[in-house]
Amino acid sequence: MCFSKKFLVNIILILLTLPTSWAQKKEVQKPNIVLIYADDMGRGMLGTYGQKMLTTPNIDKLASEGLQFERAYGAMYCAPARASLLTGMHDCHGGDAMTIVKAGIYKELDNGLTLDEIKAKIHKVALPAEKDEVFLGEIAQNAGYTTGQFGKLEWGFATTPERMERHGWDHHFGYYDHLRCHGFYPPFLFEDGKKVEIPGNTHVDCAKTTEYDSPENFKDRWNMKGKAVYSEHIIMEKMLGFMEANHPRKTNKPFFIYFPTQLPHGPTMVPEVHPELAYNPNLTQWEKEYASMVKMLDDDVGRIYSKLEDMEILDNTIIVFTSDNGHEIYYPEKGRTSKNNVNVKGEEFDNITTRFNSRVAGDIFDGNDGMSGKKRDNWEGGVRVPLFWYWKDHIKAGTVSDQMVSNYDFLNTLAEIVGVPPRDEKDGVSYAQVLFGGTPKLRDYTVYSSKMGPALVTQEGWKLRYFLKEDVFQLYYLPDDYEEVNDLAQEHPEKTKKLKAILFKECNENWENGIGPIQKKV
């Protein structure tokens, strides 16, 4: 079949004059991305890791129908993990780049301090970002995304709307102060810099309870006076509303959502025990309440999935589920489960030959999945986290990767996926290729801080752990020693020496940086 020259010219002219919205549709083909960031979610709490006391079908679905990373690292606790995620830098750096403002100042709002006064105090100690510094939200913005953050905002422990905007968020809703996150019935939250009153919530401390059980504590937890709206519920509604308002067919732009939920961070508090757990004879009342926080998060993951289906954009949306750090005990009961640095008998761990694990702590959930250590520790149980990537028909279902990755790799991974240049000044590297069956660039090691001291894990599985209190270095080979019980430092002095030099360099030759980013009072 032949076409005249005039006919072909007319076709070209028609294509050149098509409406702008058609041209933009190619841009919309970039996937929407939802990053769900659980709080203190030990991977052993999930069904995909063998949890028997409760089910987590919605989170497990992301694992079984997506890609599961077995060697994913977060950080020692909330703020350093979030700082690493949002900056693309590990948390052993010194200086002011990763300053953490101590939490609690927003309790003074309207009780002696105005919002402007609070912001001025925070800005005085939390130095502004350098002009050329780039954050996670900006990576998405630079690729044409609408960005939103919902929940336990930023790396805290206290933030401001100006910092939220500088870090790349078009819209945000939630807590500016991480101390207030320890309660689940806030009298106010913040939306795009404006205070939002929550009618019926009257507790200044957001109805925080203690972490130790007693008849009085039980009564306090279930006294619902002044507890009208549970924070997770209102945050979820705001986030789902953002998804609807920013539907790509309305905006001609994809969206990037970061959902740093409070759950299941304690102190334990839920509006009701989940029906699945109510009559479980193996669990105490407090354990049922804690497990209900996990169940609520799993239900909300299901709500996000269903919303994407209803909006008919699930096929073009990446869902990522991970956590900030390892397991924590928020349900200690005398003679049953211990908390902090002691076993059930009350004996203190020396953290050289004795350490936290589920057996000695009496943790019926085995929340750290059989590893040594918990939140704030540099044992594996303190920093290894779940990490699942789901993208229907794009990421191969049922894939399990043994590649070591860290939360500070996420920024450059996102950059590769959304099509912007990588940030070579960052510590993290992209692992996007492994998501799609390719060969990624491998980082030689992961480094992280802790309250005990810094640690380093190589891609091959060697781990150097430093215990600052006793000035002790320990060497483990994790592929053969999941629980870290065989110290090989004496058997491999050259390996120990080599890894010490790397760790020393990464901590800027200052071991105090290995116990976490700098915290400043406001």
pLDDT of residue 513: 67
Percentage helix, strand, coil for the chain under 3-state DSSP, each rounded to 5: 35, 20, 50
Q: What is the mean pLDDT of residues 438-467?
A: 93
| Structure tokens belonging to residue 55 | 């089910």
Residue recorded with tokens 């290995």: 514
Q: Is 96 or 91 the better-scoring residue by pLDDT? A: 91
In tens, the pLDDT along 212-229 reads 778 888 999 999 999 999
State pLDDT tens for residues 24-55: 334 448 999 999 999 999 999 999 999 999 99
**For range 96-120, the mean pLDDT:** 84
- pLDDT at residue 211 tops 90: no
First CA to last CA distance, the chain? 77
Q: Is 391's pLDDT higher than 70?
A: yes
16 — pLDDT class (breaks 50, 70, 90): very low
Our separate counts of H helices and E strands in the chain read 16, 16
For residue 365, say if its preceding peptide bond is cis, omega within 30 degrees of 0.
Answer: no
pLDDT of residue 26: 41
Q: What's the CA dihedral at 235, 384, 342, 476 to 10 degrees?
A: -170
The DSSP call for residue 97 is T
pLDDT tens-place string over residues 163-188: 999 999 999 999 999 999 999 999 99
For residue 420, pLDDT over 70 is answered with yes
Are 93 and 508 within 8 A, CB to CB? yes
User: For residue 96, what pLDDT band results from cuts at 50, 70 and 90?
Assistant: low
pLDDT at 11: 44
Question: Of 304, 302, 300, nearest to 263 (Cα)?
Answer: 300
Predicted pLDDT at 195: 96
- Does this model's pTM top 0.95? My answer is no
Say if residue 413's pLDDT is above 50: yes
Pairing of strands 455-458, 462-467: antiparallel
Q: Specify the pLDDT at position 508.
A: 76
Residue 518, pLDDT score: 65
More confident site: 230 or 109: 230
Mean pLDDT in residue range 77-99: 85
Q: What percent of the chain has pLDDT over 70?
A: 92
* In the predicted structure, residue 110 carries a pLDDT above the cut 80: no
pLDDT given for residue 94 in this prediction: 66
Q: Nearest CA to 247 among 327, 331, 318, 310? A: 310
More confident residue, 18 or 106: 106
**In order of start, what are the domains of the chain with their CATH numbers?**
29-443 (3.40.720.10)
Amino acid 311: pLDDT: 98
**Whole-angstrom distance, CA of residue 495 vs CA of residue 489:** 8
User: Which structure tokens are listed for 278?
Assistant: 């109510």
Judge whether residue 289 has pLDDT over 50: yes
- Give pLDDT, residue 95: 59
Mean pLDDT of the chain: 91
pLDDT band at 93 (very low <50, low <70, confident <90, very high): confident
Q: How far is Cα 288 from Cα 276, in angstroms, rounded to an integer?
A: 9
- 85 contacts 138 by C-beta, under 8 angstroms: no
Helix ranges restricted to H, 226-379: 231-245, 248-251, 285-310, 358-361
Confidence at residue 511, expressed as pLDDT on a 0 to 100 scale: 67
Lowest mean pLDDT among 152-161, 246-255, 310-319: 152-161
Cβ partners under 8 Å of residue 37, min gap 6: 82, 85, 151, 258, 259, 260, 261, 322, 323, 324
Q: CA-to-CA distance for 103 and 154, rounded, in angstroms? A: 12
Residue 515: the pLDDT is 76
